[in-house]
Amino acid sequence: MTEAGRDKVYLDLTVDLTRFYTLLWQSLRAAAGETPMDQMTPEQLEEQIRQTWAQLLPRLEKNSIVKSKMEKEFNEAVRLASEYRKAGPKDRKKALEPDASKLMIEGRQRAAAFSDLVALFRSL
């Protein structure tokens, strides 16, 4: 693979990672006690996360440690968002807030870091 081809692979991967973590933290906004985005329904957001995850999987197979870590985050985010949507009483929803908030903050930080990398890669 040429250097230019490798650079494109790295850029594309970083763009997908940025998308993944951005969708992940957005999916947790309501469960974390924040106002959810109105751009997509929770179901549409979950579908976008699943599609992005499916695009990432073949590349993550090359590193089982990274794949395992991201898979855990993916599964936890989907679980928390789903439980929040299904929860009835406010007490049950409130119980999800600490875990959702923690994962949302981590997702935001990762999305911001990957976004910075995208900008850096594009400027090279």
DSSP structure string for 9-48: HHHHHHHHHHHHHHHHHHHTTTTTTSPPPSSS-HHHHHHH
Amino acid at 70: M
Looking at residue 90, its pLDDT comes to 79
End-to-end Cα spacing for the chain: 18
Query: What per-residue string of b and e applies to 61-70 under the rule 16 or more CB within 10 Å gives b?
Result: eeeeeeeeeb
**Residue 93, φ and ψ in degrees, nearest 5:** -65, -40
pTM for this predicted structure: 0.88
119-123 mean pLDDT? 89
- Kindly report, residue by residue over 35-93, the tens digit of the pLDDT: 887 788 888 999 999 999 999 999 999 999 999 999 999 999 999 999 988 887 777 78
Extents of the domains making up the chain:
3-123
